[in-house]
């Protein structure tokens, strides 16, 4: 969603690197580029003006002029101001003191309210709640049926006493306000602690739609009214949000379709214009592609600083603790890492979701966006198919897999022999790494740490500096004094060499009175005496 904006801001900040001091012209140029980047991203003009004015004021202040690295300080200011316009802090659902907690969804038709109702219900169920969906959208054809399907996938019951419209020519039966009121009563009687009401939308803002939403709000007295907005609609998001704020008075915003390729101006505009926080974000088509909105983490993503906290939370949520304990025991016992273990690890990664999305949360991911876009998510499935086509003995001892076995495995998994060879080669590298880690040596090939494959006893730069120290010459400007100092240093080195005998390559001691003339004929060319 924010790829274009991220690239523009990264290019702007690149010009500030290495500057020990920022002039007013540098600040003006940076703010101008930030303004252009935000306008190109379809952010509301009023938001852009206020945002850039605050950045300029702070960038020309003492916090930048007194900073050791002014360029990094400007990036810090932009990050903090981005957090502010995105809402400032994370806002969670306010639960009712006396259940059920009533949540009403409102928004335009096509914004994704019905799908989001299923995502929100699954999210709340994962937090230990017992939600129920209410089908109060009786106008849109098959809206009730769609909510029942989504509820079934989420494993959440749906209260739907009326089928609603089944085609564009049907006159809907039933009163949405009464359905909403009865739905809350049904949830209370069946001990559901959360009720999510899916209301009707329209293709545009109109008085009838607003009145119906206002009537449902008055009848159910919801604890939260969430305005669902399509993050891809750009500048029009501000007008729509203001109309819903006046008509329904929502309490929070949910951004849908945040995984799209639009410019993302809605996300940066709605919270600032309406004063209502963005609470959730829908990031894909699956029911699990739904997350709590953290303004600070989103600002970090926009500035290509990564979102490691969200990545860790996803890993903790999906990681199998028993499997992790089993692998830890294998490490402590220094057992071999087998293909069965490799398969288990691949399954753990699959459970975390899209590899592409996870990698995009890493700091600096924008620099390899093209490679990530070309990443094939099905590669994990192919590797899994290859391993499952092996016998138990082959998984435990992959060295026995010869040419004929590789051909059989390739046929069984629907891949080529070269794919099998490539997978086995990658597994061999992973196995070596695991063995090294089990021995306490850390990651093999990493320089600068004892006990690892890449250790070189310290950095080459440091070694060269020590070498240069031994060859240090006098810096005196007086030729006679400089010659005397160099002679004294040469004598000290000579005395030091005599006091400590130097060992030869073959274990003996080196003769300080060595005479090159005693060597056999022809050796003088190695000492510079011949050609």
Q: Name the CATH superfamily for 101-305.
A: P-loop containing nucleotide triphosphate hydrolases (3.40.50.300)
Quick check: do 3-85 and 101-305 share a fold? Answer: no
- Secondary structure class of 23 (helix, strand, coil): coil
**Residue 53 to residue 59: CA distance in whole angstroms:** 10
Strand 158-159 and strand 252-256: pairing?
Answer: unpaired
- According to CATH, what is the number of the domain 3-85? 1.20.120.140
| Burial (CB count <10 Å: 0-12, 13-18, 19+), residue 51 | buried
> Helices marked H in 333-455 — which ranges?
339-351, 355-360, 369-373, 379-388, 392-396, 403-413, 417-438
Q: Which CATH architecture has domain 313-438?
A: Orthogonal Bundle (1.10)
Q: How far apart are CA 133 and CA 155, in angstroms?
A: 11
Give the residue among 238, 235, 231, 232 at the shortest CA–CA distance from 274. Answer: 238
- Could you give the CA distance from residue 50 to residue 404 in angstroms, rounded to a whole number? 69
What span, in angstroms and rounded, lies between the C-alpha atoms of 134 and 147?
A: 9
Cis peptide before 62 (omega within 30 of 0): no
Print pLDDT tens along the chain (531 aa).
566 777 778 777 777 776 777 778 888 888 888 888 888 877 888 888 888 898 888 888 777 766 667 777 888 888 888 888 888 888 899 999 888 999 999 988 888 889 999 999 999 998 899 999 999 988 888 889 999 999 999 999 999 988 877 766 666 667 899 999 999 999 999 999 999 999 988 766 777 878 888 899 999 999 999 999 887 776 677 788 888 888 888 999 998 887 766 566 766 788 888 888 889 988 878 888 888 888 888 888 777 666 666 666 666 666 666 766 776 776 666 677 788 888 877 777 777 766 666 666 666 666 665 666 666 677 788 888 998 999 988 888 888 999 999 999 999 999 999 989 988 888 888 778 777 766 665 444 444 333 334 334 444 444 455 545 545 454 555 666 677 777 777 777 666 544 444 444 334 444 444 455 555 555 454 444 444
DSSP assignment letter at 509:
B
H helix runs in 221-368, sequence order: 236-247, 265-274, 295-302, 308-318, 321-332, 339-351, 355-360
So where are the chain's domains? 3-85, 101-305, 313-438
Contact 250, 244 (CB under 8 A): yes
């Amino acid at each position: 969603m924010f790829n274009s904006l991220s690239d523009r801001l990264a290019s702007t900040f690149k010009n500030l690197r290495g500057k020990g001091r920022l002039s007013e012209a540098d600040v003006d140029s940076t703010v101008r580029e930030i303004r252009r980047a935000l306008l190109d991203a379809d952010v509301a003009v009023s938001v852009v003006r206020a945002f850039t004015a605050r950045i300029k004021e702070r960038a020309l202040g003492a916090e930048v002029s007194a900073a050791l690295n002014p360029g990094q300080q400007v990036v810090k200011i932009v990050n903090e101001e981005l957090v502010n316009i995105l809402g400032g802090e994370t806002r969670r659902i306010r639960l009712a003191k006396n259940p059920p907690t009533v949540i009403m969804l409102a928004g335009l038709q096509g914004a994704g309210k019905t799908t989001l109702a299923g995502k929100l219900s699954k999210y709340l169920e994962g937090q230990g709640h017992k939600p129920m969906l209410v089908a109060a959208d009786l106008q849109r054809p098959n809206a009730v049926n769609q909510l029942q399907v989504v509820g079934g996938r989420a494993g959440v019951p749906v209260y739907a006493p009326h089928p609603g419209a089944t085609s564009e020519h049907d006159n809907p039966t039933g009163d949405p306000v009464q359905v909403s009121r009865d739905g809350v009563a049904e949830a209370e009687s069946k001990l559901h602690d959360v009720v999510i009401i899916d209301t009707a939308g329209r293709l545009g803002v109109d008085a009838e739609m607003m009145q119906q939403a206002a009537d449902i709000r008055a009848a159910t007295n919801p604890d939260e009214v969430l305005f669902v907005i399509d993050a891809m609609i750009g500048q029009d998001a501000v007008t729509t949000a203001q109309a819903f704020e006046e008509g329904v008075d929502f309490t929070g915003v949910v951004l849908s379709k945040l995984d799209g390729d639009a410019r993302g101006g809605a996300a940066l505009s709605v919270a600032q214009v309406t004063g209502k926080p963005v609470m959730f974000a829908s990031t894909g088509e699956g029911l699990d592609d739904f997350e709590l909105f953290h303004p600070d983490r989103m600002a970090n993503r926009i500035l290509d600083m990564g979102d490691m906290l969200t990545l860790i939370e996803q890993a903790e949520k999906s990681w199998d603790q028993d499997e992790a304990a089993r692998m830890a025991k294998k490490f402590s016992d220094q057992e071999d890492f087998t293909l069965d273990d490799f398969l288990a690890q691949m399954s753990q990664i699959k459970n975390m979701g899209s590899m592409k999305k996870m990698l995009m949360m890493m700091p600096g991911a924008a620099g390899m966006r093209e490679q990530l876009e070309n990443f094939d998510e099905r590669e994990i499935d192919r590797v899994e198919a290859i391993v499952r086509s092996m016998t138990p003995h082959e998984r435990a001892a992959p060295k026995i897999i010869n040419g004929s076995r590789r051909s059989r495995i390739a046929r069984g998994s629907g891949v080529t022999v070269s794919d099998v060879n490539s997978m086995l080669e990658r597994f061999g590298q992973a196995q070596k790494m695991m063995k090294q880690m089990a021995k306490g040596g850390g990651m093999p090939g990493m320089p600068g740490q004892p006990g690892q494959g890449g250790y070189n006893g310290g950095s080459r730069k440091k070694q060269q500096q020590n070498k240069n120290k031994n060859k240090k010459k006098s810096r005196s400007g007086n030729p006679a004094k400089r010659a005397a100092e160099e002679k004294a240093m040469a004598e000290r080195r000579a005395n030091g060499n005599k006091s400590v005998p130097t060992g030869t390559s073959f274990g003996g001691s080196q003769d300080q009175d060595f005479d090159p003339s005693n060597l056999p004929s022809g050796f003088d060319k190695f000492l510079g005496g011949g050609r």
